[in-house]
């Protein structure tokens, strides 16, 4: 029986669905997918249209609402919202180092995780739609970041399930390989570094001091993880959100304490770094990240640790060279590297599994360009001009390739605009879709 809970301004209902691990074998192994229904207090019995929310990631569970907060406040004016814990995340059948160990060796684990991409997530959503709404009823979808990628997959393979689609920071390149993605990404990350150092010029020397220390003596994080120069550079992930640069600056401010043998990295700093670098809460993000770009018709080869290979084309990210030349040390961005599976205790048991996924060459296509070109579902999308995660040129090319898709291009917010804009981003998209803007 579903559990109903009440929080300030909202009523939530838990739903758990049995879905096939492999939708091509519906009678085979089943897994659970969890979703939380959210409706405004007092409107529980209203006949409201449904809005499915697809979270960013990959491997991220849906937000846990504490009330009518962030974009949800605006959504609940018009919709009954379903927050989906995509397969493998949150309260769905989990996929972590602990649970995957029960499936056997690395090959069995890799074969299992091959069913955790956008195509499977969309097929889960379709089964849930039929079971929750009933035959013939459609719903709207809101896709943030990777959730936007999933929305394009939805429009490719099951558009009959959708009334309308909203995408925020998630118009993927339909024909972009992993190498294409990272060749476009590294220059964007350079610009984010330049912006950070213009804002906080004192951080140039602060970062160089930390890197020089780590180059001689890598640090151990509280969870046993290893903080190397390269791991420290990954803190550039903080640039993803509009407030990330400031948060990184404040983290750097507390890097040092005076220990018995002289200056040493503080526990406060190391704990803060661990919170940013550990994949304990979301290992699928690391394990599956590059696979979200794998498509047979685009690149018949493997993704083969694309971010690591392409990084060699951008020597400005070599921190040791920067120390020698006096240049600012550059942080990296939304990239996953193979050494992370040695440095992070939550990823170490999944190293061989990740290697097998990186070598996989038979990823099916995630998008159908012909069907998208004939699309009839109203689609509106926010494209963030300064988005570090998704290339603006790719987004606009995709917008032109999807029939009827309308874009709102803005630099008022960055990749986390849906969450931090107080509902303004979603409000604008709803008004665009309904002919009010």
Active site residues: 145, 362, 415
Name, in order, each residue with C-beta under 8 angstroms of 325's C-beta and a sequence gap of 6 or more: none
Name, in order, each residue with C-beta under 8 angstroms of 415's C-beta and a sequence gap of 6 or more: 145, 169, 240, 241, 384, 387, 388, 389, 390
CB 34 within 8 A of CB 85: yes
CB 85 within 8 A of CB 35: yes
Between CA 153 and CA 215 the distance in angstroms is 43
Please, what is the end-to-end C-alpha distance for the chain in angstroms?
42
Radius of gyration of the chain (CA): 22
Q: Which of 420, 424, 421, 419 is nearest to 437 (CA)?
A: 424
Dig out the tokens for 388 from the structure: 């570090």
Between CA 184 and CA 140 the distance in angstroms is 31
Alpha helices (H) in 330-423, listed in sequence order? 340-343, 351-359, 369-373, 392-401, 417-420
Between CA 436 and CA 425 the distance in angstroms is 14
For residue 268, CA distances in Å to 265, 273, 275 come to 8, 9, 11
Q: Which of 364, 308, 368 is nearest to 114 (CA)?
A: 364
Between CA 381 and CA 93 the distance in angstroms is 31
């Amino acid at each position: 029986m579903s559990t109903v809970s009440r929080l300030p301004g909202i009523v939530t209902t838990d739903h758990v669905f049995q879905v096939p691990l492999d939708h091509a074998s519906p009678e085979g192994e089943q897994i659970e997918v969890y979703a939380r229904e959210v409706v405004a207090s007092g409107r529980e019995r209203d006949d409201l249209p449904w809005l499915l929310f697809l979270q960013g990631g990959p491997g991220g569970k849906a937000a846990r609402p504490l009330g009518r907060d962030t974009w949800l406040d605006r959504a609940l004016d018009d919709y009954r919202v379903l927050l989906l814990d995509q397969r493998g995340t949150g309260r769905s059948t989990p996929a972590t180092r602990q649970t995957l160990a029960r499936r056997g060796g690395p090959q069995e684990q890799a074969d299992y995780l091959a069913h955790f991409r956008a195509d499977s997530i969309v097929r889960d959503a379709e089964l849930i739609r039929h079971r929750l709404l009933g035959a013939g009823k459609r719903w709207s979808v809101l896709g943030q970041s990777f959730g936007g990628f999933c929305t394009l997959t939805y429009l490719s393979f099951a558009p009959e399930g959708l009334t309308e689609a909203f995408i925020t920071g998630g118009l993927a390149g339909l024909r972009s390989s992993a190498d294409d993605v990272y060749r476009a990404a590294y220059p964007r990350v350079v610009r984010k570094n330049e912006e950070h150092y213009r804002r906080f010029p004192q951080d140039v020397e602060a970062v160089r001091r930390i890197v020089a220390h780590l180059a001689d003596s890598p640090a151990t994080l509280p969870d046993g993880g290893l903080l190397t120069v390269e791991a420290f550079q990954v803190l550039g992930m903080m640039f993803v959100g509009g407030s990330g640069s400031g948060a990184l600056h404040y983290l750097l401010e507390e890097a040092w304490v005076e220990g018995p043998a002289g200056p040493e990295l503080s526990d406060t700093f190391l704990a803060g770094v661990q919170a940013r670098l550990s994949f304990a809460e979301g290992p699928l993000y690391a394990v599956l990240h590059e696979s979200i770009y794998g498509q047979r018709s685009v690149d018949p080869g493997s993704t083969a640790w694309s971010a690591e290979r392409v990084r060699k084309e951008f020597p400005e990210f070599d921190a040791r060279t920067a120390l020698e030349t006096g240049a600012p040390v550059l942080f990296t961005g939304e990239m996953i590297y193979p050494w992370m599976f040695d440095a992070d205790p939550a990823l170490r048991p999944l190293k061989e599994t990740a290697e097998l996924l990186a070598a996989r060459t038979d990823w099916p296509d995630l998008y159908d360009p012909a069907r998208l070109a004939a699309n009839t579902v109203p689609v509106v999308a926010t494209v963030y001009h300064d988005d570090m995660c998704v290339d603006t040129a790719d987004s606009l090319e995709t917008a032109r390739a999807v029939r009827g898709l309308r874009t709102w291009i803005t630099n008022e917010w960055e990749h986390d605009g849906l969450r931090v804009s107080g509902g303004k981003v979603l409000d604008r998209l709803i008004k665009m879709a309904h002919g009010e803007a």
